Structure 1
Amino acid sequence: MRVSRTLDPMDEDFLRLDNQICFSLHAATRAFNGVYRGALKELGLTYPQYLVMLVLWEHGELPVKGIGERLRLDSGTLSPLLKRLEAAGYVERRRSAEDERSVTVRLTSDGTALREKALGVPRRIAAATGLDLAELGELRERLHVLAARLDGVDPDDVAAACG
């Protein structure tokens, strides 16, 4: 037999959409994606493609698995991105001679040259936020801490606590 309980007014407030941190992050992400779409238009890149290029500009040749780990993307999501970047002439994919299952990705000369065109993107994005560099750094750090904490949570523990 299920016992109905009266909701505390505070509980009701917790269920308001505007009070959900996940929705605030979702809305900010959608807004960022729109701003990035405009900033990346001249480069001919989508935001996810830009992230792949950032990783390669920073780290050079990497296995697909390494790119996926840095971007938190699985190979099913990453493979189509890499295929489109390869078709655009920005990257090359190669099977490892040592391990046929491993594919490495490296920049082409066009991919390396694209970096110069992309240098202004972070400044345009920063300006669009209306935040100064210290505020952006603080926000980024808090989001890193939040992600690390959430990575340490077992989803089954959360489900059990709610049940």
Structure 2
Amino acid sequence: MTASSYHPAALALQGLFTLANETEHEVARELGLNLTDYRALATLAQSGPVTVGKLAEDLGATPATATAIVSRMEARGYMARHRNTEDRRQVQVNVTQEASHEIMNLMRPLMTATNEHLQSLPAAHQTVVADFLDVAQHLMRDHLHTLSEKNPR
């Protein structure tokens, strides 16, 4: 199948994925992080507190690698370890307020512009866009799962 045989929206979405990757690289650079550490930080910011083992699983990394990432990020003040309030034997890791603020400061202009544009659309269009993006996320998650199962790390 050639690129011209795909729907323009599918091609635009592919372009958005490329720009998202470039943005991720640039945000990591602005924070002074390598891409792996930034991805761990972003994953944790999305998920909330998790164990190092769960973070490793989410990253597709070994527990030793995740532990090293957390140690580096903790030294930078971007992650913190704390005991689980329900099970004191369990240590969880979370993103610090400092890291959240720094990431948000870098992403706020894009988030604000996106939000303003969406709010300028008629309500019916807003719903269609939200529904499409929800479906696109599910398709991407399913594809990622398929790729991960095909090529286990």
TM-score calculated relative to the size of structure 1: 0.49
SS in 1 for 2:94: strand
Q: Does 1:51 align with 2:51?
A: no
Going from structure 1 to structure 2, the CA distance change for 1:133 and 1:74 (only over 3 Å counts) comes to same
User: Is the 8 Å Cα contact of residues 62 and 105 (structure 1) preserved in structure 2?
Assistant: yes
User: Is the 8 Å Cα contact of residues 81 and 92 (structure 2) preserved in structure 1?
Assistant: yes
How far off its partner does 1:34 sit?
1.6
2:42 counterpart letter in structure 1: L
Give the distance between the partners of 1:54 and 1:18, measured in 2 at CA.
Answer: 37
User: Is the 8 Å Cα contact of residues 82 and 91 (structure 1) preserved in structure 2?
Assistant: yes
Give the distance between the partners of 2:54 and 2:15, measured in 1 at CA.
Answer: 29
Residue in 1 that maps onto 2:103? 118
Give the distance between the partners of 2:43 and 2:55, measured in 1 at CA.
Answer: 7
Going from structure 1 to structure 2, the CA distance change for 1:55 and 1:126 (only over 3 Å counts) comes to closer
Paired positions, count = 130
How far off its partner does 1:51 sit?
1.2
2:136 counterpart letter in structure 1: L
Going from structure 1 to structure 2, the CA distance change for 1:17 and 1:138 (only over 3 Å counts) comes to same
**C-alpha deviations, 1:111-145, integer Å up to 9, x for none?**
3223223333333234787x813478864542322
SS in 2 for 1:51: helix
Higher mean alpha-carbon deviation, 76-85 vs 113-122, is at 76-85
Give the distance between the partners of 2:45 and 2:61, measured in 1 at CA.
Answer: 18
Going from structure 1 to structure 2, the CA distance change for 1:17 and 1:121 (only over 3 Å counts) comes to same
Q: Following superposition of structure 1 onto structure 2, how do residues 125-144 of structure 1 map, counting pairs within 5 Å?
A: 125-126=110-111, 132-134=117-119, 139=129, 141-144=131-134
Q: Does 1:28 align with 2:20?
A: no
Going from structure 1 to structure 2, the CA distance change for 1:139 and 1:87 (only over 3 Å counts) comes to farther
1:88 counterpart letter in structure 2: R
Aligned sequence identity (%): 20
User: Is the 8 Å Cα contact of residues 43 and 114 (structure 1) preserved in structure 2?
Assistant: no
SS in 2 for 1:120: helix
Match among 10, 18, 25 for residue 37 of structure 1:
25
Q: Does 1:86 align with 2:74?
A: yes
